[in-house]
């Protein structure tokens, strides 16, 4: 049993029984009122997030066996109407209505109670909520006013975009009253609506918020790269396009996300031609007959070193190594579409920040639909996080490659068109930022 598991067991024997939020603690712990800890996910920084459902209806969230916050369902519901507010002939039935949750301090021993809730811990709690309630578009919450920094936490949630308030005039029939008295109900704090779409766009993470737990593991601590024009002229491309930012350092971990369907962390790091492990894997994969049938790059070590150095030096291509829990399993090339030879085939033309991808899975043990869907969605997620001006991800697999076309569609892409390169018949697949973050695809 690891240290975190042992600590969770210790906490399990400390927690007080039911009604601990509203009533004084009893003289002795009451572990009979709790159930077993469940690991929900592993955060991008490696911290394990666990949840404990108690029979009083509340649940406790711990990070590496450290209690952080608890939540419980209140006796009221709320909805977040937008265009329906103030509109005539509105049907309230089309607006999803959800239970309101209250976040409060768990009843643990004094040594375990922090003086205030850190923002990175609050972000982790929000992550746990979305991992367990991912089917909801929003989660209405209120913060227990007894939290020592409740006002700061609410400010963070609203100003980072993790949450929003209801629009003025959004009331019944979109919300249901609580069982509180009329006076208490009129003075209660408004619900904060956690937003699934903004959460998965990385809201509340990064150096600006001092929250280093986000999926981007190499988050810039400066303003976004400015927009200015550049030009590419080569044997296959003549294009004006935005100047692209310098690539991240070789070997740097860029992205990490726990994928529940396979219970593993998908990592993306910048390929390093000076790393023997990276090059050994790349060389072995390219000489696999299955991979070679799609990539056609079978050859010597020297050929592959030259190939990798070429893409590493190309400002329009970002080569990445994919891994599951640190075990290398595949290779990705991310390209800027506007200066790529596929650009002329994009209906209505390529946009400035369109991005494309070419992928191979080199390890047979990581093949299969569950793994493919997880890594495909994760790569797309990284693309949209890395550049907020990117609104489309474009693929161009062989039309005859039914497996990768099906995987693309399962990951949220649609078939935009089909076309003929001089060397292959392709379909153009496309994923849209708007659609990806609105849908429930990251559970």
* Residues 6 or more apart whose Cβ sits within 8 Å of residue 282: 271, 304, 308, 321, 331
Q: What is the strand order of the sheet 34-42 is part of?
A: 34-42, 48-54, 58-63, 66-79, 97-104, 138-143, 192-195, 163-164
Please count the residues of the chain: 443
> What Rg, from alpha-carbon coordinates, does the chain have?
25
- What letters, b where the CB count within 10 A reaches 16 and e where it falls short, cover 353-366? bbbbbbbbbbbeeb
* Residues 6 or more apart whose Cβ sits within 8 Å of residue 21: 58, 70, 72, 104, 105, 107, 144
Distance, in Å, from the CA atom of 443 to the CA atom of 441, rounded to the nearest integer, reads 6
363 as an active site residue: the answer is no
Beta strands in 165-207 (DSSP E): 192-195
**Element housing 366 (H / E):** none
Identify whether the C-beta of residue 38 lies closer than 8 Å to the C-beta of residue 59.
no
Identify whether the C-beta of residue 318 lies closer than 8 Å to the C-beta of residue 247.
yes
Catalytic residue among 137, 396, 416, 439: 396
- Please state whether beta strands 34-42 and 48-54 pair in parallel, antiparallel, or not at all (unpaired): antiparallel
DSSP for 33-75, written as a single string: GEEEEEEEEE-TTSPEEEEEEETTSEEEEEETTEEEEEEEEEE
Residue matched to tokens 């890395």: 386
Closest-CA residue to 178 (of 282, 295, 75, 49): 75
Instruction: State the CB neighbour count (10 A cutoff) for residue 209.
Output: 17
Identify whether the C-beta of residue 230 lies closer than 8 Å to the C-beta of residue 242.
yes
Torsion angles phi and psi, residue 294, rounded to 5: -100, -35
**Active-site annotation, residues:** 396
């Amino acid at each position: 049993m690891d240290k975190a598991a042992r600590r969770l067991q210790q906490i399990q024997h400390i927690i007080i029984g039911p009604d601990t939020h509203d009533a004084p603690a009893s003289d002795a712990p009451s572990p009979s009122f709790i159930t077993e800890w469940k690991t929900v996910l592993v955060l991008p920084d490696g911290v394990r997030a666990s949840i404990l459902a108690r029979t009083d209806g509340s649940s406790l969230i711990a990070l590496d066996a450290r209690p952080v916050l608890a939540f419980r369902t209140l006796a009221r519901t709320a909805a977040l109407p937008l265009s329906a507010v103030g509109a005539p002939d509105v049907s309230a039935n089309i607006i999803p209505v959800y239970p309101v949750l209250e976040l409060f301090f768990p009843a643990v021993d004094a040594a375990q109670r922090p003086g205030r809730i850190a923002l990175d811990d609050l972000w982790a709690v929000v992550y746990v909520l979305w991992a367990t309630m991912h089917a909801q578009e929003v989660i209405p919450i209120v913060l227990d006013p007894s939290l020592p920094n409740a006002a700061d936490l609410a400010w963070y949630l609203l100003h980072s975009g993790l949450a929003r308030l209801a629009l003025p005039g959004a009331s019944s029939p979109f919300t249901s009253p609580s069982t509180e008295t009329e006076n208490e109900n009129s003075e209660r704090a408004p619900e904060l609506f956690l937003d699934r779409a903004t959460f998965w766009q990385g809201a509340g993470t990064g150096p600006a918020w001092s929250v280093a737990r986000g999926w981007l593991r190499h988050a810039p601590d400066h303003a976004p790269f400015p927009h200015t024009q550049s030009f590419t002229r080569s044997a296959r491309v003549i294009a004006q396009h935005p100047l692209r930012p310098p690539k991240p350092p070789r070997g740097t971990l860029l992205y990490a996300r726990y994928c529940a369907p396979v219970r593993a962390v998908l990592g993306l790091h910048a390929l390093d031609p000076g790393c023997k492990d990276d090059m050994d894997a790349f060389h072995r994969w390219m000489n696999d007959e299955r991979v070679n049938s799609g990539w056609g790059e079978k050859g010597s070590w020297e050929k592959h070193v030259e190939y990798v150095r070429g893409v590493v030096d190309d400002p329009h291509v970002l080569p990445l190594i994919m891994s599951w829990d640190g075990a290398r399993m595949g290779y990705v090339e991310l390209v800027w579409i506007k200066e790529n030879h596929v650009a002329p085939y994009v209906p209505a033309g390529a946009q400035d920040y369109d991005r494309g991808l070419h992928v191979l899975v080199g390890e047979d043990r990581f093949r299969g639909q569950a793994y493919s869907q997880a890594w495909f969605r994760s790569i797309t997620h990284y693309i949209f996080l890395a550049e907020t001006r990117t609104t489309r991800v474009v693929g161009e697999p062989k039309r005859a490659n039914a497996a990768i076309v099906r995987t693309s569609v399962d990951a949220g892409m649609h078939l935009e068109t089909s076309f003929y390169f001089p060397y292959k018949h392709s379909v153009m697949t496309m994923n849209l930022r708007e659609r990806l973050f609105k849908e429930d695809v990251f559970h």
